[in-house]
Amino acid sequence: MTNNLHSTPNVAASTSITPDQLRRRIAAALARVRAMDTKELWDEILNGGGDCQMDSKETEVVISILEHEFHRELAKVEDLEPEQMTTLTAVTDLIMAQI
């Protein structure tokens, strides 16, 4: 990961977003959903081996936030299988496949 780990761009994402950039945006959105500081969430992610669990409701809200930022649909409900909704990495992979 880069030194810019805790920052998230505020501009609308382009289709040239990297997986690392998307991961940071997902984490920032998840921190908003959990009403916690993004740095605190990143500390948990790093202490947890580089990933974190997300429940289905969190995943839905995070995707909704990102769809607003990207100005497009990123995933449909039928795209969200239970094993894809469980981790930050799985959600990153799912969305990367859509952009």
Domains of the chain, earliest start first: 19-98 (1.10.1200)
pLDDT in tens, the chain (99 residues): 333 333 344 434 445 889 999 999 999 999 999 999 999 999 999 998 999 998 888 988 999 999 999 898 887 766 666 655 578 998 898 889 888
Cα distances (Å, whole numbers) of residue 43 to 20, 35, 39, 92, 93: 16, 15, 6, 18, 21
Q: What's 60-73 look like in SS3? A: HHHHHHHHHHHCCC
CB atoms within 10 A of CB 8: 16
Contact 32, 65 (CB under 8 A): yes
pTM for this one? 0.78
Predicted local confidence at residue 13, as pLDDT? 40
Residues 6+ apart with CB under 8 A from 67: 73, 74
